[in-house]
Structure 1
Amino acid sequence: MASENGFQLFTSLRYDPLLLESEENSRPNLNFVVPSPFYMLAYHRDRMVEAAQYFDFFEVEKKLKNGKLLHEELAKQVKDHIGKEGKDQAMKLRLLFDKAANLTVEFTAVPAVPLSTLYPPSLDPPNPETQQHPANTFKPSPLIGGFLTLGSDDSLLATSSTPSPPPEWTIKLDTAPTPSTPFTLLKTTKREMYDQSRARALPTNPTSPAHSEVMLYNEVNELTEGTLTSLYLFRGGRWVTPPVGVPSGEFTSKTLKDDGADEGELRKPFAGRWGHSTRSAKVGAGGQRGTSRRWALGSGFCMEEPVGIETVRVGEGVWVSNGVRGFGFGRVVE
């Protein structure tokens, strides 16, 4: 159903019976009912609330206040869907709210992945080829996630057995900027800008066509996000993700917080930050507040840092993530 505004608020999240076995997914900050088959449902709720506040979807904000009721509503709809289809499997749930808070849920089956794809133990240091990027000035240690160099007394731990690696993503830098607007910062069905980006720049991936992505950048030639994913690039010996929600002209070195609060993000208080959502013309200057991105920041796997498009190199490794597929690794192509 169409909203009277011409768009709806939405989020896409993963339903997966395998998540019932995940201790991480059962953390109270990630789900309202545990164990839960919904991937980071609390973060999806937060993101929808923020969009509802900005766009004056007051009834949606009210409906989302009770996270347990949201879980129960989704569980009921999933149960009904499974009853019709006769199969309990991993699915993408697309939640859409119109301004009157009517909820529509669309179901799409998705491939099975291991829990390590949804909750990786770390963003592993890039391989030696990726380390040659000019922004990386020293050799990261595999022992501590790439933050320090190996000393003469250091030794490597034995590599444990892992499942077969998932398909590698093929990633390309967009050929034109995507100006930042509230619709690039908050999740709605108004997505023409993403469709246009994919139409002009989506690379081919013969091995796995679904694992293709375009990196967007804004008016000042800084990366913001992918058309479907959050981005993580290796810079200065650590993984970084483009900042979101910081009003233009207000992002400086002084925004670095010493206490590690606010999901580890580089940010000073402003209207629209996580946990401080208020309506403001200054929604931000980056991409959307990805749920998996928020988790990666909170886990200390990366930090926020602007990434200029002039630093992007063909062949470098890039992590991507979203609330349905989890995390994946890819490489930049021409």
Structure 2
Amino acid sequence: MALELGGEPVSTTPADPAEERFVFTTIRYDPQLVQSAENTAVSCNKPCPFYMFEHHYTRMQVAKWNLASWADDSTSESSPRSAEDKELLRKSPGSPAELLHGLLSAVETWKKTYPTVEPESLRVKLRLYTNGQIRTEIFNPIPRLPLSTLFPATLGTPAEHRDSGKIEWTISLDANPTEPTESTIIKTYDRSAYDRARASAGITSFAEPREVLLYTASGLVLDGSLSTPYIYRGGRWVTPMSSTGGQQGCTRRWALMKNLCVEGDVEAQSLVQGEVVFMSNAIKGFFPTIYQAPKK
């Protein structure tokens, strides 16, 4: 694995540079989660410092079969994938216990590399390559969040959030539609659709409290560039249908399990200036945004 700290990675067992295709998941490391019964319930029923660990493990298990297919399609008869690579990919990312051990080891290596830093939380990216190798990147520390943000009992109502005056994020609509592909359904090396959408919205930094909604050629809301959207329709929060072609994120899965939302179609043109759009991802948890309509 390799640890990346917002710059050059510190390598321990680096992936083959020639292996460019990968699937990945991004997960929050947060020691307070060990005390969370909700997190334990989605971490193989064991106390765990990684946010919704079990859902990330499942995501990687599902994604690797697409990775195997891509690898077979991209290799020629003169340069076939070795039996060893195929077997390593089949076994990756190992058992939940093995993956957890690898993540914990990566965090410990990070702490030894930066002994004077006492992070409240860390953003961890886990990549799985076509040759079965795993690469872990740990980025700069991130602030601790309340457990109520990570595991809300309810998403409330739009009026409650507007009246609170505490919404820090804004969200806009992409300037052009996005064609759903495998890379909009699964988190892969190909982030071009999301990069284009963020560029069209003028978002230049991940530090900006801004998001952008992608939509399909048929006019349906597809996904956020970094987060799952929930839009209030008919007295309930609605997240885009799986069949629309967006990411099946870990927090989305949890929200559906907890009946915080339902799946449904949302027309992009139905969004109105100033409405509250909830978002979620595996780093920030659940957070409200205010929709900013395109200027005419």
TM-score by length of structure 2 reads 0.81
Contact 2:161/2:288 (<8 A) preserved: no
Task: Measure how far apart 1:198 and its partner are.
Answer: 0.5
Q: Secondary structure at the match of 1:289?
A: coil
- Tell me which residue corresponds to 1:225: 223
Cα RMSD after superposing both structures: 2.5
Q: Secondary structure at the match of 1:31?
A: coil
Q: Secondary structure at the match of 2:143?
A: coil
d(CA) in 1 for partners of 2:67 and 2:249? Answer: 18
Specify whether residues 5 and 100 from structure 1 end up closer, same or farther in structure 2 by C-alpha distance, changes over 3 A only: closer
Specify whether residues 26 and 218 from structure 1 end up closer, same or farther in structure 2 by C-alpha distance, changes over 3 A only: same
What amino acid maps onto 1:42 in structure 2?
A: E
Higher strand share: 2
- Tell me which residue corresponds to 2:153: 121
| Alignment map for 1:184-195 (pairs within 5 Å) | 184-195=184-195
Q: Does 1:9 align with 2:23?
A: yes
What amino acid maps onto 2:157 in structure 1?
A: P
- Tell me which residue corresponds to 2:63: 51
d(CA) in 2 for partners of 1:88 and 1:34? Answer: 24
Contact 1:117/1:326 (<8 A) preserved: yes
**Cα deviation digits, residues 137-165 of structure 1 (max 9, x gap):** xxxxxxxxxxxxxxxxxxxxxxxxxxx98
- Tell me which residue corresponds to 2:235: 237
| Alignment map for 1:201-220 (pairs within 5 Å) | 201-202=201-202, 210-220=208-218
Task: Measure how far apart 1:49 and its partner are.
Answer: 1.5
Structure 1 counterpart of 2:48, from 36, 60, 75:
36
Contact 1:203/1:212 (<8 A) preserved: yes
The aligned length equals: 259
Q: Secondary structure at the match of 2:158?
A: coil
Specify whether residues 165 and 324 from structure 1 end up closer, same or farther in structure 2 by C-alpha distance, changes over 3 A only: farther
Task: Measure how far apart 1:16 and its partner are.
Answer: 0.5
- Tell me which residue corresponds to 2:109: 80
- Tell me which residue corresponds to 2:196: 196
Task: Measure how far apart 1:46 and its partner are.
Answer: 1.1
Specify whether residues 123 and 3 from structure 1 end up closer, same or farther in structure 2 by C-alpha distance, changes over 3 A only: farther
Structure 2 counterpart of 1:97, from 124, 128, 131:
128
Specify whether residues 204 and 170 from structure 1 end up closer, same or farther in structure 2 by C-alpha distance, changes over 3 A only: farther
d(CA) in 1 for partners of 2:165 and 2:249? Answer: 23
Task: Measure how far apart 1:7 and its partner are.
Answer: 1.9
Specify whether residues 10 and 3 from structure 1 end up closer, same or farther in structure 2 by C-alpha distance, changes over 3 A only: farther
Q: Secondary structure at the match of 1:301?
A: coil
d(CA) in 1 for partners of 2:211 and 2:161? Answer: 21
d(CA) in 2 for partners of 1:101 and 1:187? Answer: 16
Specify whether residues 182 and 204 from structure 1 end up closer, same or farther in structure 2 by C-alpha distance, changes over 3 A only: closer
Specify whether residues 3 and 10 from structure 1 end up closer, same or farther in structure 2 by C-alpha distance, changes over 3 A only: farther
Structure 2 counterpart of 1:18, from 7, 20, 32:
32
Specify whether residues 65 and 229 from structure 1 end up closer, same or farther in structure 2 by C-alpha distance, changes over 3 A only: same
Specify whether residues 117 and 41 from structure 1 end up closer, same or farther in structure 2 by C-alpha distance, changes over 3 A only: same
What amino acid maps onto 2:142 in structure 1?
A: V
Task: Measure how far apart 1:203 and its partner are.
Answer: 5.9
Specify whether residues 227 and 14 from structure 1 end up closer, same or farther in structure 2 by C-alpha distance, changes over 3 A only: same
Q: Does 1:70 align with 2:99?
A: yes
- Structure 1 unaligned residues grouped into runs of 5+: 131-163, 247-284
d(CA) in 2 for partners of 1:96 and 1:215? Answer: 25
- Tell me which residue corresponds to 2:78: none
Q: Secondary structure at the match of 1:213?
A: strand
Specify whether residues 202 and 121 from structure 1 end up closer, same or farther in structure 2 by C-alpha distance, changes over 3 A only: farther
Q: Secondary structure at the match of 2:289?
A: strand
d(CA) in 2 for partners of 1:20 and 1:229? Answer: 24
